[in-house]
Amino acid sequence: MPLLEVSDLKTYFKISRGEIKAVDGVSFTVDSGEALGLVGESGCGKTTTALSVIKLLPENARVAGGKIVFNGRDITALKDDDLYDFRWAEASMVFQGAMNALNPVKRVSDQIMEALFLHKKGMTKKDGLARVKELFELVELNPSMIHCYPHEFSGGMRQRAVIAMALALSPKLVIGDEPTTALDVMVQAQIIDLINSLRAKLGMALIMITHDLSVITELCDKTAVMYAGKIVEMGSTVEVTTSYLHPYTEKLITAFPNIYKERRMVDSIPGDPPDLFEPPKGCRFAERCHVKIGDVCECEEPVLTDITGKGHYAACHKLTGGGAYV
Ligand SMILES: Nc1ncnc2c1ncn2[C@@H]1O[C@H](COP(=O)(O)OP(=O)(O)OP(=O)(O)O)[C@@H](O)[C@H]1O
Ligand SMILES: [Mg+2]
């Protein structure tokens, strides 16, 4: 049984003119200890997928369909009281931009202890501080710095502190939303090493959200590529990055600068993703696709299909023979 099973998840945002279908029928699983990478252009629904899993959606969002099962428990309809045991204790998240959202007037130790005290009612301050020290050691920060304020930390140190916070209650799943994006390359590499060593030590499962394909190749066992609210390709990271099947993945990978190859202008993908207020009824990538095969692409929604028969999925009419139209 997978640790996390997301089936046909639909998460919509209410806006004045109607609803934005930010996540529209997404399914994936994460096994215990497994690392899944979630990649795709800005606005494709990565953060919304993560916030749906951890049940921290903004007020104007609703889960319009689908099911989320975590550790055998259906969390789709969890009430607030039960959510308490789930969030942070079972699944936690390093939020996008969190390292810059630490409270500047509160000591880092107090910010981590807040989460501890919320969940561990009888915990004493002494035990709390001991746990914070332990967490600092775990993320390779000097424990003598627990009482510092965020501005006394470098960017990399703040990111480590935010990771420590996510680990405070020893969750089985940690979601990292672009945890390396705002850092310079050297610090990025150190954070990637840290996440790898934490996984080896603690054995937690990981969902890594990133724009950066090199991050997923270093951290993730498998990868899901999202486009306009849907997963268009999914499989082992090696297969998705080296034997990609979907034309969008191809564009994404060839658009990624490779330092080992000759310098060239990065191809941008012509056009924009569709408006998720009124998504097209066929393939959402059709308008920008360089291998479109005909009307079927515009009229019929392609189904995510195991193309190789060995767990490498893609949703593309070209790969599945064109549906009823061809
Ligand atoms: N609170 C909100 N209200 C209305 N629409 C929203 C809200 N949050 C996100 N959206 C919309 O939902 C879609 C998906 O957004 P999401 O933040 O999940 O994308 P993302 O893949 O994480 O992008 P990025 O890479 O920029 O972080 C976008 O079209 C976005 O504009
Ligand atoms: Mg995001």
Domain positions in the chain are 4-90+171-325
Question: Does 11 contact ligand 1 (Cβ within 6 A)?
Answer: no
The rounded Å distance from CA 131 to ligand 2 centre is: 30
Nearest to 168 by CA among 91, 84, 225, 227: 91
Question: Does 16 contact ligand 1 (Cβ within 6 A)?
Answer: no
Indicate the length of the chain as a whole number. 326
The rounded Å distance from CA 95 to ligand 1 centre is: 14
Instruction: With a cut of 70, say whether residue 324 has pLDDT above it.
Output: no
The rounded Å distance from CA 97 to ligand 2 centre is: 9
pTM of the model: 0.94
Look up tokens 């590529």; give the residue: 225
pLDDT value of residue 157 = 95
User: By percentage, how much of the chain surpasses pLDDT 70?
Assistant: 95
pLDDT value of residue 323 = 54
Question: Does 234 contact ligand 1 (Cβ within 6 A)?
Answer: no
Question: Does 122 contact ligand 1 (Cβ within 6 A)?
Answer: no
Strands (E), 158-302: 173-177, 205-210, 222-227, 230-236
Q: What is the pLDDT of residues 89-128, one digit of tens each?
A: 999 999 988 888 899 999 999 999 998 998 888 899 999 9
76 by DSSP, 3-state: which? Answer: coil
* Calpha distance 207→196 (Å, rounded): 13
pLDDT value of residue 120 = 85
- CATH number, span 4-90+171-325: 3.40.50.300
Question: Does 15 contact ligand 1 (Cβ within 6 A)?
Answer: yes
Calculated CA dihedral for residues 247, 250, 256, 258, nearest 10 degrees = -160
Question: Does 20 contact ligand 1 (Cβ within 6 A)?
Answer: yes
What tokens were used for 22?
């930010």
Question: 4 forms bridges with which residues in the sheet?
Answer: 30, 70
Mutate to test the pocket of ligand 1, among 13, 41, 207 (most ligand atoms within 8 A of CB): 13
What tokens were used for 138?
């775990």
Please tell me what DSSP assigns to residue 23: E
Q: What is the pLDDT of residues 237-280, one digit of tens each?
A: 999 999 999 999 999 888 776 655 554 545 577 788 999 999 99
